[in-house]
Amino acid sequence: MSENPLAPQHLRFPTDPSALTARIWPASATRTDDGELVVGGVTASDLVAEFGTPLYVVDERDVQSRAVRVRNAFTEAFERIGTRAHVYYAGKAFLTTQVAAWMVAADLRVDVCTGGELAVALAGGVDPALLGFHGNDKSDAEIARAVEVGVGTIVLDSHEEVQRVARAAADAGVVQRVRIRINSGVHASTHEYLATAREDQKFGIPLTEAVTAAEAVRAEPSLAFVGLHSHIGSQIFDESGFREAARRLMDVHATLVATGPVPELNLGGGWGIDYTESDSAFEPEDVADALATIVAEACAERDIPVPEIAVEPGRYIVGPAGITLYRVGTIKPVTLADDDHAPATRTYVSVDGGMSDNARPALYGADYTARLARTSDAPAVLTRVVGKHCESGDIVVNDEYLPGDVHRGDLLAVAATGAYCWSLASNYNHVGRPPVVAVADGEPRILVRGESIDDLLARDTGVVPGA
């Protein structure tokens, strides 16, 4: 069997369509002697028997170890240049009360961007002083709540927020620590929807207005200026964008140091993870070392103190630790031909979920890796894993080689779904959001229960009694 001409160039024909590439799958992912997928010591069939499908599965130990690895990488790199690093977990990637508790146990801080995420973090036991609060359109109620509970740092995303946060802090009789999010103008190499520092953009204050914004903050007695913040985007593999953003921020940082204290600098997050064989992710140690070198050199050139550094990884910590399990339904081979090419077949493999539990492929063409939960000796065929929703764009995995004997009733696992899948889940077509289960040491436990039909009807005020 050879490569299918319909396959994209980046998708290599597999020597083993059942193989689990370590850098893509959770650290504990393996197969039994019979070939069944196991995560956290629990087989896929046992998980599905207890919790059904679709099902988000999170390798708890992998999440915790990745959090510790990032913390250690940045701690060690910045200690070498004489300063401290603070790692904030970006809660938007995936946040539950128990995940928040894992981050606390790993000695990470937590980054939130809505009142809902703030509530979850607090309910998970996070010290408010270790929280950062983001958002380009924070409501007055969200700002007041953040100030009231003692959020460690509020990130100002616009000029008008200076006065709004200052008023809330004055009303509460406190001095609120704030950062200023700067739009550095760095064009990160990623999807347009994931690039967050381009000029025509909703996030941040332009680099040219940073000094004016900082002066406005310093003029408010109820605010304490902590420093600048930058985030250039997500799922980035080219380190040049991070380097350039850091250099641009250091220029402004140096200007501000000349007129007052600027104790910290937040360099954001956004480095990518491996979703497919063609991806090539950074190691956190490499990112930490590169940023530490840039900061040290910039401070030496400008003869200024090295500030404390903050970073905000999310995807790296939870993304590879999660998978989603589906039940295979309809199998539909589709043969395509034109005048220039011989006929070729793509097999559509439908599953019992889709864009309601993973919006990323429909949202910005995200790629994933899929495997059957069993092994097979059947020759691999080009497949497109699709969902059950009423959209042609309801695609789970756009291109994948799966064993040719894939059939109705098979269990299928999609890798690296720990970040931005549950977070973006919806009830499209009135499909309930799946449960999230953590696995560790052979034991599963619910992080978030799944939604039932009763849950979907609970908020509908027109339900006919007895129907």
> How far is the C-alpha of 49 from the C-alpha of 38, rounded, in Å?
14
Q: Nearest CA to 58 among 90, 29, 22, 87?
A: 29
- 390 carries an active-site annotation: yes
pLDDT at 358 (0 to 100): 98
pLDDT of residue 190: 42
415 residue type, one letter: A
pLDDT at 191: 38
**Residue 283 identity:** E
- Packed helices 210-218 and 159-172: angle between N→C axes, nearest 10 degrees: 20
- Beta-bridged to residue 400, according to DSSP, are 383
Q: What is the pLDDT of residue 5?
A: 86
How many CB atoms are closer than 10 A to CB 390?
Answer: 9
Q: Which candidate, 386, 228, 195, 388, places its Cα nearest to that of 308? A: 228
What are φ and ψ of residue 272, in 5° steps? -80, 170
CA distances from 221 to 72, 150, 218 (A): 36, 17, 7
Residue with structure tokens 């904030």? 88
Q: What is the pLDDT of residues 157-210, one digit of tens each?
A: 999 999 999 999 999 999 999 999 988 766 544 434 334 444 566 778 988 899
Contact 109, 130 (CB under 8 A): yes
pLDDT score at 339? 61
pTM of the predicted model as reported, rounded to 2 decimal places:
0.93
Task: Please tell me the predicted confidence (pLDDT) of residue 290.
Answer: 87
Q: What is the pLDDT of residue 384?
A: 97
pLDDT value at residue 38: 98
For 276-321, write each residue's pLDDT tens digit: 998 888 899 988 998 899 899 989 998 999 999 999 999 999 999 9
Residue numbers in the chain where pLDDT is lower than 70: 1-2, 185-201, 233-234, 237-239, 338-340, 467
Which pLDDT does position 282 carry in this prediction? 85
Check residue 234 and give its pLDDT. 64
